[in-house]
Chain A
């Protein structure tokens, strides 16, 4: 289990941060995720699917927190230091970073299911069946959510481009 930490702690942390928009809660989710993973490590039969397995546990931890604490982070609260940049950054790179921040804000404004599906598909580059496993839904439901998320993102991004 310790061998997995360097590679998968950042992944789980970013996913949790995208779900919760709170650094401390995201850290708690990471700790709880790896604790649950360690307790149920014998259930992992396919080592190739560690990423799916860990992100599914993280999703369940997040759901449990929502149920127990009734604190819903809908994603409207922006993260100020979401995409850190360098001090001596060229103007083009800075503009690209601002665009990325805007895209992330658009993604955060989506409903939770669409946000999760889009994050796993676009950021984690997962296949639809893997997304469905993480969220414990059917592939058809994942496909429908992804289609809606893409359409909403294109709509918002078109508005953003017109403003620019």
Chain B
């Protein structure tokens, strides 16, 4: 028995010998009984294992059905997760839109409060049905944090707001001018509930006068008439005597949002 050639038995079985080596090993097989026995034994093992694929114990009859149910459950879970993700994304977008709406985070200042117009001066009620859907949405957004609000319409200013709004002198002039235009029949009683639409002069613009432009160029401002349901931090820090003014500041900051929406 040639040991070097006998070691090629596994390579011969695995069909990994070169052509010359294969011919050489087949010649060796005719002379070596041990290699023939080994080869015959290996072929029998391979045949038995090859049959085992069909003869091994089959799986339980309901295993396929259980696998099918597992896949169905996974499919349902994925569907629910996708729907939940879609709803979450929509809620996040809605929340982001509400949070970044202009004017929410503007800090209140006494200076702006000082140019606040007289309460319910020079106004008269207009039916809310005159508002467009976008305007109604804006009113709803502005009234969420308050128990009572109203909507005031001012004519478009003829000079930029930033040029006149910071000046207290203009505010006092506005107050005087507004007092002159008050009509007793146009006053709105205190304690009004729910949004109302009123018209008047723009207290931010000292030179603004009521005219026909008021009817064609709508410029809405939402005013909080009653205390918010949950006061914000800076509101609670201020003394009670300024609380009203502070709420008024929120009105002006909301004005910008109204302009952006109603433009």
**Residues of chain A having any CB pair with chain B under 8 Å:** 1-2, 5-6, 9-10, 13-14, 17, 23, 27, 30-31, 34-35, 38-39, 79, 81-84, 97, 99-100, 103-104, 107, 118-119, 122-125, 128, 143, 146-147, 150-151, 153-154, 157-158, 161
A58–B67 Cα gap in the complex (Å)?
Answer: 14
Pick from B38, B48, B63 the residue with the most CB of A within 10 Å: B48
Instruction: Give the residues in chain A near B10, CB-CB below 8 Å.
Output: 147, 150-151
B46 close to A (CB within 8 Å): yes
The answer to whether B49 touches A83 (Cβ under 8 A) is: no
The answer to whether B60 touches A146 (Cβ under 8 A) is: no
Q: State the majority secondary structure of interface residues on A.
A: helix
Known: A83-B52, A83-B55. A153 touches B45 (CB 8 A): yes
Q: What 0/1 pattern do residues 46 to 69 of B give for CB contact below 8 A with A?
A: 101111110111111001101110
Other-chain residue from B49, B53, B63, B68 in contact with A2 (beta carbon distance below 8 A) = B68
The answer to whether B66 touches A154 (Cβ under 8 A) is: no
The answer to whether B59 touches A9 (Cβ under 8 A) is: yes
The answer to whether B41 touches A9 (Cβ under 8 A) is: no
B251 to nearest A CB, angstroms?
A: 55
Known: A31-B70, A147-B10. A9 touches B64 (CB 8 A): yes
A60–B211 Cα gap in the complex (Å)?
Answer: 81
The answer to whether A100 touches B74 (Cβ under 8 A) is: no
A51 to nearest B CB, angstroms?
A: 12
Q: State the majority secondary structure of interface residues on B.
A: helix
Known: A1-B71, A147-B14. A154 touches B50 (CB 8 A): no
Q: A31-B67, A104-B52, A150-B13 are in contact. List 16 more A-B contacts (CB 8 A).
A: A2-B68, A5-B68, A13-B59, A14-B53, A23-B60, A30-B59, A30-B67, A82-B56, A83-B56, A83-B57, A99-B48, A100-B55, A122-B46, A122-B50, A150-B42, A154-B42
The answer to whether A10 touches B58 (Cβ under 8 A) is: yes
A140 to nearest B CB, angstroms?
A: 11
B58 to nearest A CB, angstroms?
A: 6
B236 close to A (CB within 8 Å): no
B16 close to A (CB within 8 Å): yes
The answer to whether B48 touches A34 (Cβ under 8 A) is: no
Contacts A/B (CB < 8 Å), 10 sampled: A2-B71, A9-B59, A30-B59, A34-B70, A38-B74, A38-B75, A123-B49, A125-B50, A143-B14, A153-B45
The answer to whether B14 touches A146 (Cβ under 8 A) is: yes
- Which residues of B, 112-140, contact A by the 8 Å Cβ criterion? none
The answer to whether B74 touches A79 (Cβ under 8 A) is: no
A5–B42 Cα gap in the complex (Å)?
Answer: 33
A54 to nearest B CB, angstroms?
A: 12
